[in-house]
Amino acid sequence: MELDDEVEVASRLFTLHLDKALSSPIDKAVWNPEKDLLAMVTKDQQLIMHRFNWQRLWAVSPEKRVTSLCWRPDGKALAVGHEDGMIALHDVENGNVFRQTVTHQCSVECLTWVEERQPMLGTAADVFFYEDRTPRFFPPPAKSPAMPGAAPAFDVSGAVGFLEDQNSSADAKAALKSSHQRINILCSGDRNGTICLNVFGVFLIGRVEVRDLDIKTSAMDNSNIQGDIYRLLDAFILKVSLSENLQQLSVLCSGQLVLSCSQKRRASNEVASGLFCMQINSAIVGCRSKELHQVALQVSSIEELLEVLQVSLNVMQKLWSDAMGAFQEKFQGLAQLLREHGSHANAQEELLSLLSCGLASTGVHQFLAVSLGEGGLKRLSKTMDTAFRELHVIISEHLQPVAEILAFRVGELRGISRWRARLQSIGLEEKLVDRAMEDAGMLLVQVERLLRMISDTAAQFRMFFAWLTKSLRQLNNENSPSTDQLPSINSEAVALFLKTQFEEDLLGPHLAPVSEDAVRIEIGIEESERLEELALMGGFLDSTFLHKSLNQQISQLFVSCQKAFSMPSKIVSQQLNFENMLFLGQLHQPNTLIPISLTYYEEKGNPVSPEAPCYICFLTPNKLSEVHGIVGIIRECTENTSVSAEKTRSWEGVALQIGAGLSCIDLSLYKEKQLVLLGRTISSAKAWLMILPIDGLPYKKITGAVEGPDLPNLCLSNGAVSHISLRDGRARILSYGDVVPPLAVSASRGLACVFAGQRRALLYDLEEDEDGQDIEMD
């Protein structure tokens, strides 16, 4: 009866914008924080993006199952966690993946992307500022060159697709850059209890293994023996979030709490199992956010540049092996002919005798005049020339500028790393960066050498072909005027070519892939002496680096960069320590996903504490049939203890008992300390959506032990209970009865999306009621 009244009153609250059919039921849905875009994962594993008017923007089908979703705070990228532990970043415009990272070993269960709040002016942190000087000194870096044969030039559709790709990668880079104004951190948690923090979603700075944390209870429980250390086993991260000042990491996870000293007999020592709320001190991240920002900026660019280097080198290698293959194939014909004609000399000797005496044996004559011909010679010469030109272009437009920017950026990083007072605590080691710097310098020299080598070789080949053409014409007794137009032949150079380059490919080893470790480039004694001399004058310490091929050099640089860049996460991870913990309730089945929402609300009336307290809402599984869902809300409260000026954090909690006949399905915290609840009626199979203010609820301080009663029971016994009916908040009865989770609420846009009947999506504007008539009538 009560419900019927509600229906009357509440039917016009919130504007229903859309009621659309869905092709497939929805598994996950997240609103974009900046634009009216809804990212969804369907149950058949499609990732789809819809506009506010339900127009589909794009859809992609990831190879692995999607287990979590979240937006970057600027709304330009979507992070997608997969069941194999990979996190992919999709571009909002077209759904293309522009970055993939594998930091987890198993399914990524939750993702949150937090942006640091602008620090207040005049604070101490304001003093430290870092500038990325690269754009002032260099043009934007070149992109990777296209692989030859990757896009057939005659196929129009292929060419178009190729162009599109180029654009999108540029967009992706721009999208990546635009997020770099302020530090933002992607927090991810997985099924095995591993939490990772990635700056900009690409640079890992911290990793927490929940099962390795020492959980001390002394702060929470005074009656217990001081200093008991617990461990949380089989942790399954349900939700993870960083506070906006990056000082604290809040984690909701399920697992078993055991006494640490007796891990072997863990079954008997189990203290509690179920849902826990844990806080981890990440002050190191908060205090050094500017340094981390700058380091992450440089590191992510360096990693991109390394990628370009590698791709360019692969392209060059392919170009050269194709050209050389064509050359050798033709001249194998010569050897074949010589053998047929019974000559004992090899091709090199025959050609040398042609050069020195101007006499061609029958084999050589036949080869030049018949099997090659002037046309064939021209073609071959052109093939080689084109290859050299392309190699030259790749070096001068991709490899060299990229190597220069890379060296500059590593140098900047070295400058930062030398400020030990600020940077040592986040693990940027000067020695390791120095090493990377040296490798980057060597790379520059190597690239320069390769460039010179290529132009030398190109000139030699050109000379050789000119000589062959001239010889051919002489053999054919042609004395056309065009013969005079050929460049004059330096026979010394041709002889040199025949002795060296003709027999073995000298350029090949420079471009050889790393796997061929036998590659060792010979350098002259004079050159190595000069290198040793330069080492005395402050040059590279490793005076044998010119023996390496370019590819080996790049992989060495890659390794040293990896070493230098993996240090911060090692050092920072050690400083992420357990702070406090709360037992929230038992779970029926372990590792089930329950509706949870976690937000930080700014305390407006309290200028003393600039920190935003954390609010956590969760729906306890309704194991008892008479209680249809209890919503537990806990919030953090800080108190200034009178004894010391230090602030102590403690928890306050309240339990919401949903009124009779109603059951709650999903919940989400909304802006200004309001809670959005989605539920059904048990009797008449109707669904309801309600916004409930949660500020004025009768919170009671929680002083529960980790093993103690679960939170709802604690609240019930404390009297911190509120019975909720649809009258308590702004509620609306929905037009479909069979609503299902997930409920997607956007706090910044004031929108909610409800999925019903497996195949319908309902879009509500939470800020706007359907029309003003209600108010006028009142």
Q: Which stretch binds another protein (CB under 8 A): 252-260, 315-323, 529-537, 658-666?
A: 529-537
Of 307 and 529, the one with the shorter C-beta distance to another protein is 529
- Comparing CA positions, the residue from 115, 101, 110 lying closest to residue 34 is 115
For the bound state, the minimum distance from the C-beta of residue 329 to another protein, rounded and expressed in Å, comes to 40
**Phi, psi dihedral angles at 675 (to 5 degrees):** -120, 135
Q: Contact at 8 Å (CB) between 316 and 394? A: yes
Residues 122-141: x where in contact with another protein by CB under 8 A, - otherwise, as a string: -----xxxx--x--x-----
H or E element in which residue 718 lies: helix 711-718
Of 526 and 776, the one with the shorter C-beta distance to another protein is 526
Establish if 420 lies at the interface with another protein (CB under 8 A): yes
Write the DSSP symbol of residue 529. H
For the bound state, the minimum distance from the C-beta of residue 199 to another protein, rounded and expressed in Å, comes to 18
- Comparing CA positions, the residue from 617, 569, 590 lying closest to residue 239 is 617
Of 129 and 154, the one with the shorter C-beta distance to another protein is 129
Contact residue for another protein among 120, 536, 643, 775 (CB under 8 A): 536
Write the DSSP symbol of residue 14. S
Establish if 158 lies at the interface with another protein (CB under 8 A): no
Gap between the Cα atoms of 190 and 103, Å rounded: 10
Beta strand residue intervals within 697-759, DSSP E: 700-702, 721-724, 730-734, 739-746, 751-756
Of 128 and 768, the one with the shorter C-beta distance to another protein is 128
Contact residue for another protein among 1, 537, 541, 775 (CB under 8 A): 537
Contact residue for another protein among 225, 421, 624, 777 (CB under 8 A): 421
Establish if 154 lies at the interface with another protein (CB under 8 A): no
Residues 453-492: x where in contact with another protein by CB under 8 A, - otherwise, as a string: ----------------------------------------
Gap between the Cα atoms of 243 and 112, Å rounded: 11
Tokens representing 6 are 């509600």
Residues in binding contact with another protein, number by CB under 8 A: 21
For the bound state, the minimum distance from the C-beta of residue 180 to another protein, rounded and expressed in Å, comes to 17
Establish if 227 lies at the interface with another protein (CB under 8 A): no
Of 295 and 745, the one with the shorter C-beta distance to another protein is 295
**Phi, psi dihedral angles at 14 (to 5 degrees):** 60, 140
Gap between the Cα atoms of 60 and 78, Å rounded: 13
Of 232 and 410, the one with the shorter C-beta distance to another protein is 410
For the bound state, the minimum distance from the C-beta of residue 294 to another protein, rounded and expressed in Å, comes to 8
Contact residue for another protein among 265, 418, 623, 701 (CB under 8 A): 418
For the bound state, the minimum distance from the C-beta of residue 434 to another protein, rounded and expressed in Å, comes to 11
Bridging pattern class, strands 760-765 and 751-756: antiparallel
Tokens representing 122 are 């005049």
Of 130 and 331, the one with the shorter C-beta distance to another protein is 130
**Phi, psi dihedral angles at 142 (to 5 degrees):** -70, 155
H or E element in which residue 761 lies: strand 760-765
For the bound state, the minimum distance from the C-beta of residue 411 to another protein, rounded and expressed in Å, comes to 7
Residues 373-412: x where in contact with another protein by CB under 8 A, - otherwise, as a string: --------------------------------------xx
- Comparing CA positions, the residue from 48, 56, 16, 29 lying closest to residue 744 is 29
Instruction: List helix spans (H) across 358-507.
Output: 362-366, 373-394, 400-417, 420-423, 430-475, 482-485, 491-499
For the bound state, the minimum distance from the C-beta of residue 181 to another protein, rounded and expressed in Å, comes to 19
For the bound state, the minimum distance from the C-beta of residue 699 to another protein, rounded and expressed in Å, comes to 38
Establish if 414 lies at the interface with another protein (CB under 8 A): yes
For the bound state, the minimum distance from the C-beta of residue 423 to another protein, rounded and expressed in Å, comes to 9
Which residues, in sequence order, are bridge partners of residue 475? none
Percent composition of the chain: helix, strand, coil (DSSP 3-state, to 5): 40, 30, 35
For the bound state, the minimum distance from the C-beta of residue 133 to another protein, rounded and expressed in Å, comes to 7
For the bound state, the minimum distance from the C-beta of residue 419 to another protein, rounded and expressed in Å, comes to 5
User: Which residues, at least 6 apart from 717, have a Cβ–Cβ distance to it below 8 Å?
Assistant: 709
For the bound state, the minimum distance from the C-beta of residue 269 to another protein, rounded and expressed in Å, comes to 42
Of 140 and 415, the one with the shorter C-beta distance to another protein is 415
Of 358 and 415, the one with the shorter C-beta distance to another protein is 415
Establish if 110 lies at the interface with another protein (CB under 8 A): no
Contact residue for another protein among 140, 415, 487, 698 (CB under 8 A): 415
Instruction: List helix spans (H) across 145-237.
Output: 156-178
Establish if 533 lies at the interface with another protein (CB under 8 A): yes
Of 103 and 294, the one with the shorter C-beta distance to another protein is 294
Of 144 and 301, the one with the shorter C-beta distance to another protein is 301
H or E element in which residue 114 lies: strand 108-115
For the bound state, the minimum distance from the C-beta of residue 430 to another protein, rounded and expressed in Å, comes to 9
Q: DSSP readout, 319-387?
A: HHHHHHHHHHHHHHHHHHHHHHTT--S-HHHHHHHHHHH----HHHHHIIIIIIHHHHHHHHHHHHHHH
Side-chain-facing half-sphere of 138: CA atoms under 13 Å: 16
Side-chain-facing half-sphere of 33: CA atoms under 13 Å: 16
Gap between the Cα atoms of 705 and 728, Å rounded: 32
Gap between the Cα atoms of 347 and 23, Å rounded: 70
Bridging pattern class, strands 730-734 and 674-681: unpaired
Of 143 and 530, the one with the shorter C-beta distance to another protein is 530
Touching another protein, residues 589-628 (CB under 8 A) = none
Of 416 and 702, the one with the shorter C-beta distance to another protein is 416
SS3 648: strand
Contact residue for another protein among 54, 419, 540, 736 (CB under 8 A): 419
Which residues here bind another protein, judged by CB under 8 A?
127-130, 133, 136, 411-412, 414-416, 418-422, 533-534, 536-538
